A and B are shown apart, each in its own frame.
Chain A
């Protein structure tokens, strides 16, 4: 077991090659973005220390000769001083740096979705067979007036008088979460764009601007405006179906972002509209938003620039006082509020933030929905819930808690091969997702993975239809906010109260 240099930190995984099976085809060397494998004259040699268990090598080894195992060498067990803590100390004592990593928190906080059960019909009202009968998932995102005004034409037929605010039509209540070109590869974005168009849903540029190749997908794209304003200009604002102001992100509430200069190649430079090789720094706050009325000012600055034709979404991280914050955002004129829970993903975030700041999306969502209803303004904005939606079950529960739609980020990347190794920040992603290295990006075929994304969302949509049918309703709007169809298990009274649901059995 070799180590690349002296360090207290032992390699976490071992990349073991069965040399009897290995045919020396060297695909592992090609496939590994981390440089684990090299050829030692007659056999493959592994530098275990570089292995992140991303799964690329064994997936592509034609002989099944590779296994990645946890390093059995123990760091002396101590329930208080877990080995991760010691490793962090060693790492920081070597570099003096803030620890960063990609993806959501790895901490094991309670996952409330896993403690909520769904209802179904038995006898007193019937379930509906979703295979035979219509089961509507169509969802409109945007501000809804509280009431409708109509007038009558000369045949006394009612016609719409209310001027409806702009809406985004989704064929199924999913959107792809914001992931910028820079944090992920262009091919990864293209895969989402293709899937979004085929599914009748939307993707989100993130804060990295809109690449020319994605312009034709505008009707399926939300363009984002973050504090760095990368690639943001008038035509950009008008090129998507909606504009999102990014205030925060679940994985890193309250802090900004850096795309390091080495990732800013020619193409990203063009899309972000910054010079090649400079850091793309998104400051922690928008410097034109220091207070809620400033948010209103930016919302309407964008509405003015888009002639009031685009819904404006505001993305915030779920933090302690989220209900009041979202209430303020809605009153500031947002048409959509995107709430990102603390276990949401990221391209890079300091571990101190990622693992310790924010609150779960389930609790945030429940409180926001309740608060907006109490204030009588729930219709004023749609809510997108995000922050580790891992399955259609999570999506259904989020919608029943009050979300209009859910966003998926990490799940979409998992479709593309991501094994959630959490090394997105390094730019070495062997799957071609969170990297800008051309030889790695090239292996992510947008059409292949676009289709897989399509398959996933289609499958999840069918699963939602199954659940709706079991609940005896044939439209998603009859589930949305219907907490009566949820029951908690293994939850305290306080948790149940926050979620606004009853314990199972009641």
Chain B
């Protein structure tokens, strides 16, 4: 049986990796060949046990619906999950995710997608008044935890994750990414160190419109996890990426912090620098550390997180992981290695290496007018 979930007797699943991201701030779409080409340059950063992509703008016809990508390792799991979806969601469309068996990827779960929206009279309304986004989050966690043989790996609007066990360039072929178009792409090449590969554990990790690709091992995982558990997050995947995604969800969606402050929590300045700041800023940053110290991501990381309004790439506060950024016209590129960028954009307008903990933030020039959730910020 294929591994969809982390059922290894491990507290956590750690890995080394390579990553890249491409965004067009004018929302000009490109197909998946560039991102595939870029990530394939970073081939040696992975070990063939996980590759994946996230794309935004790929489902324009269903932009108002949550696009659930679900992997199943047996058909009875599919039946059970679909029963749940039918009871709680209006399913506008469902279909198998198109895949193409290749010599490299021949053993895979059954992959299906659903374009859905929560029913207004769903049963949980008897107990609480959750917004749609919160209900979707709960549903994703419920399916991933309670439905054996089923795993939701993408749940946002007008975006999708495509991932699996294999090198990313092979995963790209498996999903035929050159036939998919989007205005923002991220990719990940995984090097798991203490588990065999498992389909769900490939990056990107997504929740609603968030998708995160990440390189490095978070040394503060233990307390980050316990901190999130206090806010009722269920960290079933036991991966760093999951922790990062949930921290962002908590800070931005639930606590309403602006994104620029949320990233300050992840890679906080040191006190000796904070102490030199002007009074208001010092007060704010000390309060951020006092309150969110347990959410500080300590240890090496470079992450790219994408959401419906843009992309943020950053590394840790002492820059233990590489990150390169470049711009060319309305395109911004980020990657673990400059060569990955040069492979698709040989002469960028500018190339730079962001400072420790300093985010590269790109927003679309016309923000999405989508309602609710992350984008409403």
Contacts and interface: CB of A to CB of B under 8 A. Distances in A.
A477 B217 contact: no
A358 B287 CA distance: 36
Contacts of B222: 481-485
Secondary structure call for the A interface: loop
Interface stretch (A45-53, A82-90, A121-129, A202-210): A121-129
Interface string A146-163: 111110010001111010
A143 B294 CA distance: 14
Given A125-B300, A158-B261, A162-B287, A134 B272 contact: yes
Nearest to A134: B270
A478 B261 contact: no
Interface stretch (B10-18, B122-130, B203-211, B359-367): B10-18
Given A159-B280, A159-B284, A480 B294 contact: yes
A150 B270 CA distance: 21
B369 interface: no
B89 interface: no
Contacts of B9: 506
A160 B287 CA distance: 8
Contact of B290 (A150, A164, A481): A164
B218 to A, nearest CB: 8
A145 interface: yes
A419 interface: no
A376 interface: yes
Interface stretch (A55-63, A259-267, A467-475): A467-475
A478 B296 contact: yes
Contacts of A125: 14, 216-219, 299-300
Contacts of B291: 144-148, 379
A480 B281 CA distance: 25
Contact of B16 (A121, A124, A374, A480): A124
A483 B11 CA distance: 11
A167 B290 contact: yes
A475 B272 CA distance: 12
B220 interface: yes
Given A145-B291, A148-B291, A478-B220, A373 B226 contact: yes
A140 interface: yes
Interface in B289-312: 289-294, 296, 298-300
B283 interface: yes
Interface in A457-497: 471-475, 477-485
Interface residues of A, number: 47
A133 interface: yes
A473 B257 contact: no
A158 B284 contact: yes
Given A136-B270, A158-B258, A483-B226, A477 B318 contact: no
A378 interface: yes
A323 to B, nearest CB: 15
A502 interface: yes
A111 interface: no
A138 B271 contact: yes
A125 B298 CA distance: 10
A477 B293 contact: yes
Contact of A482 (B216, B220, B284): B220
Contacts of B223: 477-482, 484
20 contacts: A124-B194, A125-B218, A125-B300, A128-B318, A134-B272, A147-B254, A147-B256, A150-B257, A160-B284, A160-B287, A164-B283, A472-B217, A472-B298, A477-B289, A477-B294, A477-B296, A482-B220, A482-B226, A502-B11, A506-B9
Interface of B: 9, 11-12, 14, 16, 193-194, 216-223, 225-227, 229-232, 254-258, 260-261, 268, 270-272, 280-281, 283-284, 286-294, 296, 298-300, 317-318, 320
Given A477-B223, A481-B227, 9 more contacts: A124-B194, A136-B270, A158-B258, A160-B283, A164-B287, A475-B268, A478-B219, A479-B220, A484-B222
